[in-house]
Amino acid sequence: MSLSPSAHPIERLDPTQRTLRRAQYEAFEFELVAQGVLVRNASHANPEDHEYLVTIEDGLPHSCPCPADEHHQGACKHRVAVAIRTSVLEAARNAQRIRELEACGLQATASPPAS
Q: Which is nearer to Zn ion, 65 or 105 (CB)?
A: 65
Check residue 83 for interaction with Zn ion (CB under 5 A).
no
Residue 75 contacts Zn ion per CB under 5 A? no
User: Per rule CB under 5 A, is residue 84 in the interface with Zn ion?
Assistant: no
User: Under the criterion CB under 5 A, does residue 13 sit at the interface with Zn ion?
Assistant: no
Q: What SS3 class is residue 108?
A: helix
Q: Does 66 bind Zn ion (CB under 5 A)?
A: yes
Please tell me whether residue 69 binds Zn ion under the rule CB under 5 A. yes
Choose among 76, 81, 51, 49: nearest CA to 63. 76
**Kind of pairing between the strands at 60-63 and 28-33:** unpaired
Applying CB under 5 A, the span of 18-26, 28-36, 41-49, 74-82 interacting with Zn ion comes to 74-82
Burial readout 31-58 (b: 16 or more C-beta within 10 A, e: otherwise):
eeeeebbebbbeeeeeeeebbbbbbbee
Strand partners, 36: 33, 55
Residue from 19, 63, 78, 89 in contact with Zn ion (CB under 5 A): 78
Contacts to Zn ion by CB under 5 A? 52, 64, 66, 69, 76, 78
